[in-house]
Structure 1
C-alpha cells in the first residue's frame, strides 16, 4: 500500500487515515490487491482486474463493492462505454495509525495485524518481481535502482526523526515529478522499513 504510515502528511487530502471501521473494510488480501491495482493502473472493470490478478470476476465484483462501501473506490463512469461498471481509487494512499494495534476490539487488532503483514508481503513481491525482470529494463534503470540496508544505534526519538526526514525527502521528489510527458519517466516504488532488532 502507498504510504501505510506517514505521520508528517496528515493534511494531504489524497492520503486517507484509517480508522477502526475503514481498516476492517480494507484488511483483506484481495481488497488490498484491487486497491493497489486501481491506484497504479488507473480505472478498470471487475473483469479486467480479475484477469490481471488471476481471480474470478464474481470475487473482484464483490470486493470492489465492499471497497466502495468503505469509501476506498468509486464509479468511473467517464470510462464506461458499455454495461460493465468501471472503478477508480478515491485516494492516492492510506495512513496507518499504530494505535489500531492496541484497540480494545480484538477484531480491529486482527485487521491491523493482517493489514501490516499484507503490506510487507506486497513489498517482498515487488522486490522479487524487480529481481526477476530487471534484465528487461534499460541499463539506466538498472543503475538507478537500489536495494540497501544499514544498521544504526538510535533512540526512539532519533529513529522517529529519521522516518520523518525520509518521508519528507520522498515527498520532495513527488513535487519534482516530470509527469507522463517525460519520455524516460516511469513509476518507481520506494520502500522504507525501520525497526529495532536484538543483536544477540
Structure 2
C-alpha cells in the first residue's frame, strides 16, 4: 500500500462534536468455547453476511458463496449452537428456515492466541487469519469496483499505512480513539447518496530484534 496522509472527511459530513457520546455496537465477546465454534472460514463469512445484509436462508447463502445448501445449513446450525445466530421470526413462507445474527459484531481477546489449550490457541490463529483474508478480499473487490463504478467516491476512500513509535499504552490509547471517532459516525441521517462504507483498522506492533 502507498504511504500517504489520510483523506479528509467529506465537507458535507458533519463531524461529531465532543458533547456527542459515540454509539457503541454490542459485540459478542468470544470466550474459548465460542471461539472454537466460530473459527471456520465459512462460518465467519456466513455470520458476517447475516450481520451486513440481514436474514437469509441456507439456500440463499449457498448461492451467494458458491457452496452447497447442505454445507451452509450445517454451519448455520453450528453457529446457532454456539449462540451466534437464531431463527428469524416472520421471514419467508413454507418450510425453509431463515436465520439472523444475534449480535452486531465480535469482540476478540488477544490473549486467546496464547491459551494453554492447543485447540483454543489454534482456533485463535484461524480466526485472525480468516479476518485478515476477508479484509484482503474486501480491498481487492473495492479496487475492482473503484476502477469502473466509484468515481464520485474517490475523495471519500482511503488506502494508507503509517509507521509510528509508541509504547503499549500509547498504542492502546490510539486504538480507543480511532474506535471513538468511527462510532461517532454511526446512525447519521441518510440521504439518496448514502451507501455502506467498510472501515478496516490494523494496529500491528512489530517485534524488536531482541524479542
Normalising by structure 1, what TM-score?
0.88
Which structure exhibits the higher relative contact order, with contacts defined as CA atoms closer than 8 Å and separated by 6 or more residues?
2
Alignment of 1:60-139 (within 5 A): 60-139=72-151
Asked whether the equivalents of residues 77 and 85 of structure 1 are also in contact (C-alpha less than 8 Å), the reply is: no
**Alignment-derived partner of residue 58 in structure 1:** 70
**Which runs of 5 or more residues in structure 2 are unaligned?**
1-23
**TM-aligned CA deviation for residue 60 of structure 1:** 0.1
Corresponding position: 1:147 with 2:159? yes
Aligned residues: 187
**Separation in 1, partners of 2:116, 2:207:** 29
Query: Which runs of no fewer than 5 residues in structure 1 stay unpaired?
Result: 1-11
More off after superposition, 164-173 vs 130-139: 130-139
State the distance in 2 between where 1:192 and 1:13 align. Answer: 16
TM norm structure 2: 0.84
SS at match of 2:99: strand
Equivalent position SS for 1:87: strand
* Mean Cα deviation higher: 13-22 or 157-166: 13-22
Distance, in Å, in 2 between the alignment partners of 1:197 and 1:111 is 22
- CA radius of gyration, larger in: 2
Within 1, Cα distance between the matches of 2:147 and 2:63?
A: 25
Pairing partner for 1:178 from 174, 180, 189: 189
Answer yes or no: is 1:44 the counterpart of 2:56: yes
What pairs with 1:1-12 in structure 2 (closer than 5 Å)?
none
SS class of match (1:77) = coil
Q: 1:33 aligns with which of 35, 45, 59?
A: 45
How far 1:101 moved relative to its partner?
1.1
The structure with the largest helix share of the pair is 1
RMSD: 1.7
Distance 2:121 2:206 in 1: 23
Report the CA distance shift for 1:13/1:128 in structure 2 as closer, same or farther (over 3 A): closer
